Amino acid sequence: MKIPFLKPALAMGSALILASCGSGSPKIVSTPIANIDSIPLKIDDLTETQLKGWGGADLVTDTIPGMSVEKAYSEIIKNNKGQKTIVAVIDSGVDIEHEDLEGVLWTNTDEIPGNGKDDDNNGYIDDVHGWNFLGDAVKENMEYTRIYKRLKPKYEGKTASSISTADRAEFIYYQEVKQEYEKEYQETVQNRNQYEQIKKQLVAAHQAVSSQLGKENYTIEELNDMQATGQMAQYKAMLQQIQNNVNENIPEALEELDEGIAYYDGRLDTHFNLELDGRAPVGDDPYDITDTKYGNGNVMGPDPEKEDLKHGTHVAGIIAAERNNNIGINGVANNVEIMAIRAVPDGDEYDKDIALAIRYAVDNGAKVINTSFGKYFSPNPEWVIEAIKYAEKNDVLIVNAGGNESLNLDENTVYPNDQNPEAPQEIANNFLTVGALNFDYGAQLLANFSNYGKTNVDVFAPGTKIWSTTPNNEYEYLQGTSMAAPAVAGVAAIIRSFYPKLSAAQVKQIIMDSGLTTNADVIVGGDRNNVQDFKELSKSGKMVNLYNALILASQTK
């Protein structure tokens, strides 16, 4: 269902003239954005400039469903600065040498770099910009792989009738884990083989057409105009499909196929490898929460090429890449320091690392924590739940990615989460789960990969094709709820900066209450046969909007 074109009716009432209620907070003379169903759909494709900055766009001005970040800076924030706010990024690590991030890093001024001592007595030696809970570890199994290989010697070949009553629950769990492992393994093999078959066919088609046209980089128009019969007509049809749906440049499309094949080969080598001991370089017992003397202060990890830092560096840039420095991009938040915590390997994270990472962030001054990761099996969820409660007790907001499997989280459990396994209520009020939006305002508003849930997803934010920092002073498009969460973490950081007396729970509620909603029906999971009311896909039914959030924050005591 398309959103109807109606006469704009954006005002909720007369303009608000609000006195500031936080240190350094701006005076707000603004009217909240509302009634967005009256806004016309954007017909034209986004330009490259629009695409690179769409997360900060304004729905009214640009007809792009961004968070009105630039509108908030130009009309509300302007040159005002609040209190410095620390945002912890628990992720794969951060390239702290990046040109657009080195000026926004948290520095532990009580620690003397490189002296091998715990100068501030916080339990971590040389934690200058954060902590690396993975040490020199990089590659890891998926959690279900680790559980499967741990239980396999005990239960392989056993039947339910041969299992004692005491072991029955664990045996059922083992069967569930084994089924998940085998399903995911087979799907990965099939995907890899399919990519290889497509590549083989595409290479043959491309060589034949390139020979006939006398060039490798032919356009859609040139291919359409080419005369072809028989086998050549089949080649032409295949290449037209690739040009229209993947990439007009066929050599680049082949490179993308190679990347896909390498990705699936990598998963087979690591994520499903029953012989891999990815934890060996760390040297701790990952199933002993009291074994805390491990890791190091190298938040960039051991990879000299920094490739494993891509995810965390991208996340950090979305939150706080230095604004208005004529370099790279503008992050959502100004006056922010990024605390880098490396705890997410290439594979599934360990519960112990995440629990200790949250506690580290809290103990060292973070007011917002971004957690752009997740998994569907967790052997020790209680450790992470206790850490979430610890953050709540210390007034720290956690902004969490909802996941990328197009699942209803009210029916599927993902970790970490703030749900009581015995009852529907939340275990804490400082945990905000974020789903992902697409830049198409209309039926395709929901990112086709995003998880959702009326109870277990709180809000939605831009997460499709997001341009941000990547290692070695580069920039790249990535997508996922991993990109939506840091956008919201940036919003939370701005609110906490200008209105420091507001609690984490209040900031969470402000973000949820101030968002924009729509009466549109949207496609869920990329399935055009699955169309649902956008308002029913999250607890708030809304899209995060910085402009409105600042107005509501200024009114909140």
Give the phi and the psi of residue 493 in degrees, each rounded to 5.
-65, -40
pLDDT value at residue 29: 53
Segment 529-556 shows an average pLDDT of 96
**Higher-confidence position of 61 and 349:** 349
**Residue 7 pLDDT class (50, 70, 90 cuts):** very low
Beta-ladder partners of 90? 341, 371
pLDDT value at residue 36: 76
**Residue 421 pLDDT class (50, 70, 90 cuts):** low
How far is residue 57's CA from residue 129's CA, in Å, rounded to a whole number?
32
Q: Is the pTM of this model over 0.75?
A: yes
**Residue 45 pLDDT class (50, 70, 90 cuts):** confident
pLDDT value at residue 27: 64
pLDDT value at residue 238: 96
For the cut 90, the answer to whether the pLDDT of residue 424 exceeds it is no
How far is residue 497's CA from residue 23's CA, in Å, rounded to a whole number?
8
pLDDT digits (tens, 9 = 90+) for 239-267: 999 999 999 999 999 999 999 999 999 99
Token pair 């398309």: residue:
2
pLDDT digits (tens, 9 = 90+) for 194-252: 999 999 999 999 999 999 999 999 999 999 999 999 999 999 999 999 999 999 999 99
For the cut 70, the answer to whether the pLDDT of residue 514 exceeds it is yes
pLDDT digits (tens, 9 = 90+) for 303-322: 999 999 999 999 999 999 99
How far is residue 493's CA from residue 332's CA, in Å, rounded to a whole number?
9
Secondary element (H or E) of residue 346? none
**Residue 6 pLDDT class (50, 70, 90 cuts):** very low
Segment 270-279 shows an average pLDDT of 97
- Lowest model confidence (mean pLDDT) among 10-19, 127-136, 156-165, 381-390: 10-19
Q: Residues 44, 48, 49, 55: is their CA dihedral positive or negative? A: positive
Instruction: Indicate if 482 belongs to the active site.
Output: yes
Instruction: Indicate if 311 belongs to the active site.
Output: yes
- Residues of the chain above pLDDT 70, percent: 94
pLDDT value at residue 16: 33
How far is residue 226's CA from residue 236's CA, in Å, rounded to a whole number?
8
pLDDT value at residue 406: 97
pLDDT digits (tens, 9 = 90+) for 106-147: 999 999 999 999 999 999 999 999 999 999 999 999 999 999
Q: Give how far Cα 500 sits from Cα of 105, 319, 395, Å.
A: 20, 18, 11
Residue 397 in contact with residue 492, Cβ under 8 Å? Answer: yes
Q: Give how far Cα 256 sits from Cα of 14, 262, 264, 359, Å.
A: 52, 10, 13, 39
Catalytic residue of the set 92, 372, 378, 482: 482
Segment 260-284 shows an average pLDDT of 97
Residue 176 in contact with residue 218, Cβ under 8 Å? Answer: no
pLDDT digits (tens, 9 = 90+) for 159-178: 999 999 999 999 999 999 99
For the cut 80, the answer to whether the pLDDT of residue 287 exceeds it is yes
**Residue 425 pLDDT class (50, 70, 90 cuts):** confident
How far is residue 533's CA from residue 157's CA, in Å, rounded to a whole number?
47
Segment 420-446 shows an average pLDDT of 89
Catalytic residue of the set 58, 62, 91, 126: 91
pLDDT value at residue 30: 61
pLDDT value at residue 369: 98
Catalytic residue of the set 127, 311, 514, 540: 311
Segment 427-445 shows an average pLDDT of 95
How far is residue 129's CA from residue 312's CA, in Å, rounded to a whole number?
14
Q: Please state whether beta strands 336-342 and 130-132 pair in parallel, antiparallel, or not at all (unpaired).
A: parallel
pLDDT value at residue 20: 38
For the cut 70, the answer to whether the pLDDT of residue 14 exceeds it is no
- Residues of the chain above pLDDT 90, percent: 88
**Residue 42 pLDDT class (50, 70, 90 cuts):** confident
Terminal-to-terminal C-alpha distance of the chain: 40
**Residue 40 pLDDT class (50, 70, 90 cuts):** confident
pLDDT value at residue 9: 28
What's the mean pLDDT when you consider all of the chain? 92
pLDDT digits (tens, 9 = 90+) for 21-35: 444 676 665 667 776
pLDDT value at residue 420: 73
Segment 381-398 shows an average pLDDT of 97
